[in-house]
Amino acid sequence: MEIEEIGSGFSRQVIAWASAPDVVFKFARWPNFNLSEYCFWQSRKDTEVAAHLAPCVDITADGYVLTMKRTTPLKAAGITLPDWLLLAEPHSRLSRQQVEELGLHYELMPYDIKPENLSIFNGRIVLHDYASSTAPLLFHELSR
């Protein structure tokens, strides 16, 4: 089919379009998650954190549709994850050591790090869902 839903979560439906195979379109139920994801990407795209994020490409002015590079979700890649990641609750409280053991940057500690939000992109583990609008506040709190 030309257009296909390849995933969905609490706040978004993720759509692939055969004519643009390198990207996905995230259709939001509320625009704030897309907007915070896009803003985080814009603020980190020229830093070392960018290598640990699925890149954002574009966003509509109202925030309802975000275009992001298409990645291979970990569940499709068949990667074995450590038991502590599968058991951890809430995921946003992983330690810096655990976050780095996954190959992610410690600045992503307060984000929603769970198997469903991780992918492979350019041979690395990346976060394809970094839309949490509370994460920047938590990072400030955790790094004090």
Q: Which residues bind ligand ATP (CB under 6 A)?
A: 6-12, 14, 24, 26, 33, 54, 68, 70-71, 73, 112, 116-117, 128-129, 131
- Residue 82 Cβ, how far from ligand ATP at the closest point, in Å? 19
6 binds, among Mg ion, ligand ATP, none (CB under 5 to 8 A by kind): ligand ATP
3-state percent helix, strand, coil for the chain, nearest multiple of 5? 35, 25, 40
CA-wise closest residue to 65 among 21, 11, 112, 101: 11
Closer residue to ligand ATP (CB): 54 or 107: 54
Residue 112's contacts (CB-CB under 8 Å, 6 or more residues apart) are: 91, 92, 129, 130, 132, 135
Residues forming the site for Mg ion (CB under 5 A): 9, 117, 129
Phi, psi of 140 (to 5 degrees): -60, -45
Nearer to ligand ATP, 29 or 96 (CB): 29
* Least distance to Mg ion, CB of residue 119, Å: 11
